[in-house]
Structure 1
């Protein structure tokens, strides 16, 4: 069953999902709409805050509050009351670039992508933030997406959606090891976008352009596909008190669909794992 979360707006480009187990709430962003959204499943309430620039993602901090990718920087965010405090600018970014997606690893470091607004030139890259400095870890890329850290913190997966390849990197003392292809998408699979691991070590990927999320085995083989009533499916995350629900974002930009830009809730049939938090 696919449930469309009731609210008074849709996302121009929904992304950056984070399930906050500390308060049983879902947070996500509307990148082009410059918003942070919050769902409280227990009541069905959806709240939204306007941000000062495009906002790619939001992740919980170990000490409370959140960090978010806003514009071409990483910022600390509080929601009650709403406030934004810049922490660090991403170096060497042209004005034609913006933040995209990100994840924290088991040691509380951030891994984040930048990309061009135009989505058609390789001026983006994949970056690392340890709380003091942001450094480029890999690139160049056109649309760096994901990323996802395996539940034991041993390796990182991310993709360049424009290339249609999900890459795998060993995580070695805060550095990326040698890059290898993990999944190469076939033409009718769409483009790999946001992704997350389940408790069985399988990878779930939002398939942009293919109206679905797909589950891949630890060997990189597709084993399940859940259809959604929107073509531009952008990200997915496990949520709920038992981490047995999945929330999926989508985008309204460039399409005229009844549910384009909606937030969906589905039953994935498996549980997720708790998200890592930023330690800075």
Structure 2
């Protein structure tokens, strides 16, 4: 398998996360949470742009039929446009928890966003999983989470996968068209010494790809939860992955430099060849 490619740029992410593939811009977006940065890589030409945010930013998702994005800030949900930059916060789901922040999110095929929170210190179960509906209503779905990560949604089996990185566990929920989740069950439980599950994405064959923080790899699991393959990366703290490109056969992977400054490529953005095609991401319909 070809070696990972390092995207050339003059910045190392303290905590790279929040990957998004924009087909309409032929670009990959991602965040540096601790560095308070938003990045964009143009696939045509490889130009990297960067914006500084006023607070920590966990993720970015495009809006359907409307220019701009929804982003997850430390203080909650916000609308974002670029060139010029405008940022309009519109809902703080945890005004009573100022030391929490948003961490990761995905949109489902009905245009809802599923977003998790966590304590900045990553040391207690004060995080939660929220659902942002197209009409702007926000519902708290799960609590008692240490580090909310993922999620990933399998349309073949109508399942939502969600990770608590603090517990090194990926959970599985049945999901229906109303946005209701069924009984939560552990799907994969890992030995933290081998790396903790972080960001996730689904491929077109129903495989679940997981980035391993502290594990230096991304791994693919079958719908039955069996390990199918792993791709090693030259950094230990791997945080997220996304399919991109016209054929959705390219994968970009984020990493974190905070706590791994001795690693020359910690905090880099990587490109790997997954050997399978991904699924186009869903946009927010609000």
Paired residues of 1:151 and 1:197 also in contact (CA < 8 A)? no
- Could you say which residue in structure 1 is the equivalent of 2:152? 148
Q: CA deviation at 1:189?
A: 3.3
What does residue 65 of structure 1 align with? 68
Instruction: Decide which of 14, 17, 40 is 2:19's aligned counterpart.
Output: 17
Shift of 1:23: 1.6
Mapping of residues 1-280 of structure 1, within 5 Å: 1-62=3-64, 63-130=66-133, 131-152=135-156, 154-172=158-176, 173-255=178-260, 256-280=262-286
RMSD: 1.2
**Whole-angstrom distance in 1 between the partners of 2:245 and 2:159:** 25
Q: Could you list the per-position Cα deviations for residues 50-83 of structure 1 after superposition, in whole angstroms to 9, with x for gaps in the alignment?
A: 1111000000110221110012211111112211
Native 8 Å contact 1:106 1:153 kept in 2:
no
Say whether the 8 Å CA contact 1:12–1:251 is kept in structure 2. yes
Q: CA deviation at 1:133?
A: 2.3
Which structure 2 segments of 5+ residues have no match? none
Query: Are the counterparts in 2 of residues 69 and 75 from structure 1 also a CA contact under 8 Å?
Result: yes
How far apart are the structure 2 equivalents of 1:151 and 1:264?
A: 27
SS at match of 2:175: strand
TM-score (norm. length: structure 1): 0.97
State which drifts further: 133-142 or 196-205. Answer: 133-142
Q: Hey, what's the Cα distance between the residues in 1 that align with 2:190 and 2:18?
A: 22
Task: Assess, with a 3 A threshold, how the Cα gap between structure 1 residues 132 and 241 changes in structure 2: closer, same or farther.
Answer: same
Matched residue pairs, number?
A: 280
